[in-house]
Amino acid sequence: MAASIAYVGGHLQYGVNFCMGQSYKQAIWVPSVTFNGCLQRELSWSCGVSKFLQIRKCNLFRSRTNENWKSFGTVITSAYLRDGSTKYFDFAVIGSGVAGLRYALEVAKHGSVAIITKAEPHESNTNYAQGGVSAVLCPSDSVESHMQDTIVAGAYLCDEESVKVVCTEGPDRIRELIAMGASFDHGDDGNLHLAREGGHSHHRIVHAADMTGREIERALLEAVVNDPNISVFKHHFAIDLLTSQDGSDTICHGIDALNTETQEVVRFISKVTLLASGGAGHIYPSTTNPLVATGDGMAMAHRAQAVISNMEFVQFHPTALADEGLPIKPKKTRENSFLITEAVRGDGGILYNLSMERFMPLYDERAELAPRDVVARSIDDQLKKRNEKYVLLDISHKLREKILSHFPNIANECLQHGLDITQQPIPVVPAAHYMCGGVRAGLQGETNVHGLYVAGEVACTGLHGANRLASNSLLEALVFARRAVQPSINHMKSSSLDLSASSLWTRPLVPKSLGSDVMHKILRITKEVRKELQSIMWKYVGIVRSTSRLQEAEQKIGKLEAKWETYLFEHGWQQTMVALEACEMRNLFCCAKLVVSSALARHESRGLHYMTDFPDLEESKRLPTVIFPSSHTTGTWSSRQLHQQPIVKSMV
């Protein structure tokens, strides 16, 4: 994949550059830095961008971009209509977590909505977000305080306008949720009970017992199901966005999806599309994310020429239960990790490597009570240096009854797998939890692709900066989903659905012609390749990084991808063929490469991104990492949309 990376200088004025209704000049088409680093043309972004990305001023590159586009050719395939249907909606929403559902409920008042979700609707990262949602709801708290906490946690890489907007609008979004039927814990004084999580200087976490995400999801789903304007298409896997070029503008017209239950392709033509597809935890072997989090949205957006940002900031939790260390291995691979709370360390738990050496004091004088990031890095360092799979967290020296009363969940889980935590140490390994980066979004959730909006974990709004503050993710999803509503409605009203548009893109093809033997082989190989990719990511793109390791990751991932694609195409796979596992794999490759590219581009350590060869913060590098779209003529199957992009003027 050819990727173009740039630092975007200064304070980005999202509102100015992404304003609807103005003739939007495409961000600089940067000729690529190819993956093995052999080609690096003058990055045109450097002109006048040292302080400020002036997207509108870059039309001097328009001729170059037109040339590029011409060289791709105008491929408007004649419509060979295959089996499979086309559906027309005003709004298409990809993803059924809090961002998608919240948005759907609002825009449904103005038009028809399709929610496209790849599994059951409640299967989302939202559902597993059990802690809470943060908002300023206490009179002694203030928006400024919430903003400050967010910016400090984000290592000062946050976009201040985004932070302000989220912290200011948060309380209203919570009140709306309550009005929609979400039920949060109260105090005996009748007010919302507000907890205080790490990094927050006030009590401001609203929660529903310990299943806040699930409660919010429940309330929203109930409203969605009862809304006659919303159609939910579950078990529909989104394949690629349908886009066209109008000069240098990219326009989104909808999405192709695969009904994984009936194995039919469904084409959705929509005036507006919201991408709310969540995270990409499964690029790593150990993650708290459910299986659906394979970075589909980030990959589709990148292939559709959307700008991606800050992918290097992956949040890990230092101590997830390591199944490899359990005497009785779980019968099937645990889908999402069991995180061991900091309270175990707080209550006196000690970390050892497999030689029973206590290593934390080597890294920090606070030892096990050092901040979570320090602990995560230390564990990662030990694992890489010693080439081991997990470390040990020992609480067995504490009183048995205290262990059992404080941590019954851990005790039970371990006991079921042959481990008594009152006698033996607990095997732990860091797990990937949250992607701070994603599709670059403006203050209205708009992207550089017309008609494409993003919200939730898939987006990079600038709120989290280099590290997410606890409980801010549900809040971000709520606020941005809401903010994208009015611009979406405006865009929808100024668009008209071209009913013949459906035939402009080649339809994806279900691989029936390959036969079940070949499919079986392909699925088996794909499964192995996925594990291999996850292994490379953990080994070379983990918590403690270095330029040489990242470069090795680049090489290895490139080779692995080539090997996989060759296998597929040698066995008869065609460019437009789709299957769930293969499509997920291409998305995982795409996201993995985005993470590696971004990590290589940041020559400093900040927040979640730590480089041994650049261990310090660099004020001059306090800028977001931005990846511009890649060219179409080069690149792998994972980096190209399945269909060819037509160049059609004034489609809408």
Partner 1 sequence: MAKTSLSRLFTSLSEHSIAKLSFTSSRSESVNRSGYNSVTRFVCFSAQETQLIREERSNEGDREAAKENLESVNKEEDEGEDGDHVNKETGEVGGPKGPEPTRYGDWERNGRCSDF
What's the CA dihedral at 479, 481, 487, 492 to 10 degrees?
-160
Q: Decide: is 420 part of the binding site for partner 1 (CB under 8 A).
A: no
Q: Decide: is 154 part of the binding site for partner 1 (CB under 8 A).
A: no
Of the residues 81, 187, 356, 650, which one makes contact with partner 1 according to CB under 8 A: 187
Q: What is the residue-wise DSSP string for 1-57?
A: --BEEEEPPS---HHHHT-TTS-PPPPP-PPPB-TTS--B---GGGTT-SS---GGG
- Backbone torsions φ then ψ of 55, nearest 5 degrees: -60, -40
Minimum distance of partner 1 from residue 408's CB (angstroms): 5
**Residue 57 vs 196, nearer CB to partner 1:** 196
Q: Decide: is 372 part of the binding site for partner 1 (CB under 8 A).
A: yes
Half-sphere CA count of 216, side-chain side, radius 13 A:
32
**Contact stretch for partner 1 (CB under 8 A) within 1-9, 145-153, 337-345, 529-537:** 337-345
Task: Write the binding mask 72 to 91 for partner 1: x where contact by CB under 8 A, - elsewhere.
Answer: --------------------
Q: Decide: is 186 part of the binding site for partner 1 (CB under 8 A).
A: yes
Which residues does 550 contact at the CB level (< 8 Å), separation at least 6?
540, 541, 596, 599, 600
Q: Which amino acid is at 490?
A: N
Q: Decide: is 399 part of the binding site for partner 1 (CB under 8 A).
A: yes
**CA–CA separation, 124 and 116 (whole Å):** 12
Q: Which residues are catalytic?
A: 372
**Contact stretch for partner 1 (CB under 8 A) within 13-21, 186-194, 271-279, 611-619:** 186-194
Q: Decide: is 324 part of the binding site for partner 1 (CB under 8 A).
A: no
Q: Decide: is 19 part of the binding site for partner 1 (CB under 8 A).
A: no
Minimum distance of partner 1 from residue 384's CB (angstroms): 22
Report the first-to-last Cα separation within the chain, whole angstroms: 31
Q: Decide: is 341 part of the binding site for partner 1 (CB under 8 A).
A: yes
Task: Write the binding mask 264 to 293 for partner 1: x where contact by CB under 8 A, - elsewhere.
Answer: ------------------------------
Minimum distance of partner 1 from residue 424's CB (angstroms): 15
Of the residues 15, 48, 181, 408, which one makes contact with partner 1 according to CB under 8 A: 408
Q: Decide: is 129 part of the binding site for partner 1 (CB under 8 A).
A: yes
478 neighbors 172 (Cβ within 8 angstroms) = no
Task: Write the binding mask 456 to 475 for partner 1: x where contact by CB under 8 A, - elsewhere.
Answer: --------------xx----
| C-alpha distance from residue 502 to each of 76, 87, 270, 534, 643 (Å) | 11, 9, 10, 36, 12
**In the chain, what is the greatest distance between 2 CA atoms, to the nearest angstrom?**
74
374 neighbors 329 (Cβ within 8 angstroms) = no
Radius of gyration of the chain (CA): 24
Three-state secondary structure call for residue 570: helix
Minimum distance of partner 1 from residue 146's CB (angstroms): 16
Minimum distance of partner 1 from residue 420's CB (angstroms): 13
Which residues face 606 on adjacent strands? 609
Minimum distance of partner 1 from residue 380's CB (angstroms): 16
- Backbone torsions φ then ψ of 83, nearest 5 degrees: -65, 150
Q: Decide: is 423 part of the binding site for partner 1 (CB under 8 A).
A: no
**Contact stretch for partner 1 (CB under 8 A) within 57-65, 74-82, 160-168, 182-190:** 182-190
301, exposed or middle or buried, with CB in 10 Å at 0-12, 13-18, 19+? buried
Q: Decide: is 405 part of the binding site for partner 1 (CB under 8 A).
A: yes
8-state DSSP, 390: -
547-570 helix and 516-540 helix, angle to the nearest 10 degrees: 180
Q: Which of residues 501-520 bind partner 1 (CB under 8 A)?
A: none
Q: Decide: is 198 part of the binding site for partner 1 (CB under 8 A).
A: yes
Q: Decide: is 416 part of the binding site for partner 1 (CB under 8 A).
A: no
**Residue 402 vs 512, nearer CB to partner 1:** 402
Q: Residue 242: which of 116, 122, 71 has the closest Cα? A: 116
Minimum distance of partner 1 from residue 392's CB (angstroms): 16
**What does the binding site for partner 1 look like in residue numbers (CB under 8 A)?**
128-132, 185-189, 193, 195-199, 205, 207, 209-210, 317, 338-346, 372, 397-402, 405-411, 413, 433, 470-471
